Amino acid sequence: MKRLADRVAVVTGAGSGLGEGIVRLFAEEGARVVVSNRDVSKAEAVAASINELGGTAIAVKADVGIEADCRNLIDSAVAHFGQLDILVNTVGYSARGTIEDTSVELWDEVFGLNVRSSFICSQQAIKHMKERQYGSIINIGSVNAYIGEPKLMAYAASKGALMTLTKNLASYLNRYRIRVNQLNVGWTLTPNEHHVKVNIEGKGENWVDEAVKSRPWGRLLLPRDIAQAALYFASTESELITGSVLDMEQYPVGAPPNW
């Protein structure tokens, strides 16, 4: 039996990158999935691909920076499939900036996308999950949550806040048998990471060749790696686990690279 048979999952930011990797694996494992993205054409393309492969998916346009979009996303999933079992809050904005050059506007935008959206989507999802005394919420965080690169000041702070939100919700929602866990993701090769390295940091098209030299396993994390961990938290294999944060990186957080 597939690990997510008879489950319904909503994944935000699922038009590419980590979200796409997660929603595709969930569909492979039997979940009926809602592919959400701000760019609906990307969501529709992923949903169509899943359906062509024998899965069940719908696309819903949602800019999670907008409260109404967050709530509509959750309600649309329940209206279409009749239930909601799994929510993965994937959307993240890794804006560059130190304490000296980050504007208040950028800070607010980063926290809006990285923390506020997870709060709103979770709040709306809980309304439906608690009726069935079942649910799994998975927040996608970052190893930057602990300290973070100086150039990712707002991003790091937002992921630290998300980690606290995860544990706070877990401590309350166990009364409804709703679990809340977090994946703190390390350096992952996604289309957006490639864009940032090439077009923002000017590293050149072959930046990956140099990057992997610093990795013990000779490669960066891939969306499929993150999806496998998300699948564990989404399935009943982790039935009694809540409030956990799984660090996903090739070095323990805080350890010098060449210990």
Mind listing the pLDDT tens digit for each residue in 162-187? Answer: 999 999 999 999 999 999 999 999 98
Least confident of 49-58, 62-71, 74-83, 209-218: 209-218
| pLDDT the model gives residue 257 | 61
- Count of residues making up the chain: 259
253 band by pLDDT with thresholds 50, 70 and 90: confident
Residue 255 has pLDDT above 90, yes or no: no
Mind listing the pLDDT tens digit for each residue in 140-164? Answer: 999 999 999 999 999 999 999 999 9
| pLDDT the model gives residue 195 | 86
Q: Are 154 and 113 in contact (CB under 8 A)?
A: no
Residue 101 has pLDDT above 90, yes or no: yes
Residue 38 has pLDDT above 90, yes or no: yes
Q: Which residues have a catalytic role annotated?
A: 155
**Mean pLDDT of all residues in 236-255:** 93
Residue 256 has pLDDT above 70, yes or no: no
Token pair of 136 as six digits: 């799994």
Cβ atoms < 10 Å from Cβ of 252: 9
Write down the pTM of the prediction: 0.95
Residue 44 has pLDDT above 80, yes or no: yes
Domains of the chain: 8-186+224-242 (3.40.50.720), 191-220 (no CATH)
